[in-house]
């Protein structure tokens, strides 16, 4: 990591150069990768979504030190919100209303027009993304409120329960009123459409997106959108980190009683951490739903929460570049393995000895154990403050040494 | 009684079957260093925690600078103008010394999420002011050169100083120090004493809990003595030294 540094406060030139190089690589990547098949870009698309999730969770776990094992719930909230408001699902909801509240059904149809009855609601991405952020933020505060006095293990248990509650709700909210379509999930979710360009490609274009005269595969278009969102997330979280608010979060993580005694309203500041973290999850969820075109409760299991947490912890808790690295490795490596392992075994042994899925789980577990043993602070932890004194102090200390 | 900075009376606090504080009060004049002494378990820290909002009192009236304040939550007390340090140092260990003091500015500043993300002009100005003030305070307590050291790795005496700087950053009317000299050697105590005098000269009022009676006698303008949760004496250091009840409390009564 010596060549790449993102420490803008102390080595700005190197940091901005590293960012530029990385960005250039990221921009070129899909064009190279799509030569070998769209699945490689798709893997990166999912990795970018996971990075967004990990960065959001990093606010809660990394900055404020609140262990959240139910984070995927906010991802689910964003995804299901999109499912409800950008698919034919709303028509199913209306249909289920008829037995219970026909007057409500009539009111909704009167408000949105007769079309709702057959086609559901299809809101634009410009509404859905902010709405997903706000809704997930509200859910974040809802989760935060009862857990304000809890710490460590106890907090983890309550958040774990919350995550499961949301998933079970999604699984069962198809009756009496069909919000989520239950275990079958919501299908036919609209692809993202920005300025009239559908990122899934128009019908008959074989999933090619044309911007002007320039065409590229749909996965590439999503890739650029997710990349942009990731950059925005990185920008926002790093600004938050280096602010009055970020300091308050870290202060709560380090010593809650001292933080209170210094005048920090820990209740509000913690709720804000939950809420901010959740809203990034909500946006990622909305993207996920539009990208996949389908959501079901299976995508939001406890395992997902744990793997997002693993990205944060493994990468370097509280350190944004580390969290991004963790996200890339844990989201992309399993998929890469899936692509590489079986062909390699075919070539070497003429048959598949260990299935990719088995090997993936094995390596995943092994990697977690090894990293936690050898690098307990994560793969790329925050640099120790001693390693990077500010220029001014550095000079002072040298003078002191010279005087001595 | 308007010339009192802190006027507290009638504080009772019970923990289950233990009456920790019985009708305790304290009156502190502006600009003074007021000592609170007493044998181990006398209730000094309990009283301190009640004043600063960490424990809820059963009864009591609380007035700071002529205005009633409610010790219902520590952050509200800090906002009202009482800043404290802790008997067992409680710094934000992984933050730098400078960041620790910057956290102390939290209660007197106001930029939120939007200021943080957009860094508009007001936010930049505020952030720069926080940084400047924090560095000034570090210089004031004499550890300015360690601004970028991680707090956890500072020496014990410097950690005490950092805690005082952090408390001063909240612009307190009253600085409340819980055994700041605990665990210090003679040289460090002398330096601490100099610092406290310097703080007093800045016009700050100080409430000080301490075991070291020698240090207290020379430093404090007035002293209150607690024993078994009751106030047994209050007065000038010279009076306290001669007070029978105090001597009995410290040395035992049976002759």
Dump pLDDT digits (tens) for B173-188: 999 999 998 888 889 8
SS3 state of residue B229: coil
What φ, ψ does residue B89 adopt, rounded to 5°?
Answer: -40, 130
Cα radius of gyration (chain A) = 23
Asked whether B243 and B233 are in contact (CB, 8 A), the reply is yes
Lowest-pLDDT range, A260-274, A277-291, A351-365? A351-365
- Cα–Cα distances in angstroms (integers) from residue A285 to residues A160, A192, A313, A393, in the given order: 18, 13, 21, 45
Of the candidates A235, A261, A233, the residue with the CA atom closest to the CA atom of residue A248: A261
Cβ-based contacts of A260 with chain B (< 8 Å): 54, 73-75, 78
Q: Where are the beta strands (DSSP E) in A78-225?
A: 86-87, 121-122, 193-194, 197-198, 208-211, 214-217
> pLDDT, tens digit, for every residue of A338-367?
778 878 888 888 887 778 778 878 888 888
Q: Do B147 and A393 touch (CB under 8 A)?
A: yes
- pLDDT tens, B119-156? 999 999 999 999 999 999 999 999 999 999 999 999 99
The pLDDT of residue B72 is above 70: yes
How distant, in Å, are the alpha carbons of A144, A156, A160, A181, A274 from that of A147?
5, 10, 12, 30, 10
- Is pLDDT at A401 greater than 80 in this prediction? no
Tracing tokens 């913690």 back to the chain, one arrives at: A270
The mean pLDDT value for A3-10 works out to: 69
Determine the pLDDT at residue A395.
43
Strand ranges inside B179-229, DSSP E: 205-209, 222-227
Residue B100: band (very low, low, confident or very high) from pLDDT cuts 50, 70, 90: very high
Answer whether residue A387 shows pLDDT above 60.
no
- Whether A393 sits inside 8 A of B145 (CB atoms) is yes
The answer to whether A266 faces chain B, any CB pair under 8 Å, is yes
Q: Which of B123, B149, B170 sits opposite A263 (nearest CB)?
A: B170
> A296-345, pLDDT tens digit by residue?
999 999 989 999 999 999 888 889 999 999 999 888 888 888 778 878 88
Tell me what ipTM this predicted complex has: 0.92
- Interface A–B counts its CB contacts (< 8 A) at 123
Q: A130-182: per-residue pLDDT in tens? A: 999 999 999 999 999 999 888 888 999 999 999 999 999 999 998 888 889 88
CA–CA distance, B147 with B96 (Å, rounded to integer): 7
CB contact under 8 A, A251 and B112: no
Q: Quick check: A265 contacting B, CB < 8 Å?
A: yes
Contacts of B108 (CB under 8 A, 6+ apart): A263, B170, B171
**Helices A38-57 & A218-241 angle (0-180, nearest 10):** 20
Which residues from A are below 8 Å from B73, CB to CB?
260
Task: Judge whether A316 is closer than 8 Å to chain B, CB to CB.
Answer: no
What is the tens place of the pLDDT at every residue in B195-246?
999 999 999 999 999 888 888 888 999 999 999 999 999 999 999 988 888 8
User: What is the spatial distance between Cα A276 and Cα A273, in angstroms, rounded to a whole number?
Assistant: 5
- Which residue in chain A is spatially nearest to B93 when comparing CA positions? A254
Cβ atoms A189, A288 nearer than 8 A? no
Residues in CB range of A321: below 8 A, 6 or more apart: A4, A6, A380
Gap between the Cα atoms of B175 and A402, Å rounded: 38
Tell if the CB–CB gap between A255 and B93 is shorter than 8 Å: yes
Comparing C-alpha atoms, which of B140, B166, B143 is closest to residue B153? B143
**pLDDT of amino acid A130:** 95
């Amino acid at each position: 990591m010596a060549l790449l540094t993102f420490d803008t406060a102390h080595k700005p030139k190197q940091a901005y150069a590293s960012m530029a190089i990385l960005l250039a690589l990221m921009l070129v990547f899909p064009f190279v990768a799509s030569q070998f098949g769209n699945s490689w870009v798709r893997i990166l698309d999912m990795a970018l979504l996971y990075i967004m999730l990990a960065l959001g969770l990093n606010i809660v776990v990394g900055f404020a030190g609140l262990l959240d094992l139910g984070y995927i719930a906010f991802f689910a909230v964003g995804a299901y919100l999109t499912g409800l408001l950008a698919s034919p699902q709303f028509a199913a909801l209306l249909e289920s209303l008829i037995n219970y509240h026909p007057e409500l059904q009539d009111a909704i149809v009167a408000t949105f027009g007769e079309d709702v009855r057959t086609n559901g609601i299809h809101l634009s991405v410009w509404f859905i993304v902010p709405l997903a952020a706000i809704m997930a933020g509200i859910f974040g505060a809802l989760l935060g409120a009862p857990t304000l006095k809890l710490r460590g293990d106890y907090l983890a248990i309550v958040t774990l329960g919350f995550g499961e509650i949301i998933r079970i709700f999604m699984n069962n909210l198809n009756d009496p009123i069909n919000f989520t379509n239950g275990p079958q999930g919501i299908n036919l979710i609209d692809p993202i459409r920005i300025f009239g360009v559908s990122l899934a490609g128009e019908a008959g274009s074989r999933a090619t997106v044309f911007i002007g005269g320039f065409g590229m595969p749909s996965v590439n278009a999503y890739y650029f959108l997710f990349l942009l969102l990731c950059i925005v997330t990185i920008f926002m979280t790093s600004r938050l980190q280096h602010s009055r608010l970020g300091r308050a979060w870290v202060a709560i993580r380090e010593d809650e009683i001292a933080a209170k005694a210094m005048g920090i309203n820990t209740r509000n500041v913690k709720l804000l951490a939950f809420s901010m973290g959740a809203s990034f999850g909500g946006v990622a969820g909305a993207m996920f739903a539009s990208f996949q075109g389908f959501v079901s409760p299976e995508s939001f299991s406890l395992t997902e929460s744990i793997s997002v947490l693993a990205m944060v912890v493994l990468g370097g808790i509280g350190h944004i570049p580390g969290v991004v690295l963790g996200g890339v490795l844990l989201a992309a490596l399993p998929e890469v393995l899936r692509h590489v392992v079986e062909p390699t075994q075919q070539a070497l042994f003429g048959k598949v000895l260990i299935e990719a899925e088995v090997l993936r789980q094995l390596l995943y577990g092994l990697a977690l154990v090894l990293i936690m043993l050898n690098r307990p602070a994560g793969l790329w932890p925050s640099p120790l403050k001693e390693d990077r004194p500010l220029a001014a102090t550095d000079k002072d200390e040298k003078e002191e040494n010279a005087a001595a | 009684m308007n010339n009192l900075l802190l006027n507290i009376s009638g504080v009772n606090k019970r923990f289950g079957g233990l009456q920790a504080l019985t009708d305790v009060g304290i009156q502190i004049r502006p600009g003074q260093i007021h000592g609170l002494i007493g044998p181990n378990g006398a209730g000094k820290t309990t009283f301190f925690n009640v004043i600063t909002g960490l424990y809820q009192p059963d009864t009591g009236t609380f007035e700071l600078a002529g205005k009633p304040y409610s010790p219902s939550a520590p952050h509200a007390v800090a906002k009202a103008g009482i800043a404290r340090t802790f008997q067992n140092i409680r710094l934000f260990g992984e933050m730098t010394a400078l960041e620790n003091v910057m956290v102390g500015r939290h209660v007197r500043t106001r930029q939120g999420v939007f200021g943080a993300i957009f860094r508009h002009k007001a936010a930049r100005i505020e952030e720069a002011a926080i940084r400047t003030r924090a560095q000034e305070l570090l210089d004031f307590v004499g550890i300015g050169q360690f601004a970028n050291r991680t707090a956890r790795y500072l020496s014990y005496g410097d950690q005490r100083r950092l805690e005082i700087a952090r408390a001063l950053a909240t612009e307190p009317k009253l600085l409340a120090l819980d055994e700041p000299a605990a665990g210090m050697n003679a040289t460090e105590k002398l330096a601490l004493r100099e610092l406290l005098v310097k703080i007093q000269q800045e016009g700050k009022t100080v409430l000080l809990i301490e075991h070291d009676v020698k240090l207290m006698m020379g430093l404090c303008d007035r002293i209150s003595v607690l024993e078994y949760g009751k106030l047994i004496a209050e007065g000038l250091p010279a009076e306290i030294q001669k007070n029978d009840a105090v001597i009995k409390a410290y040395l035992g009564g049976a002759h």
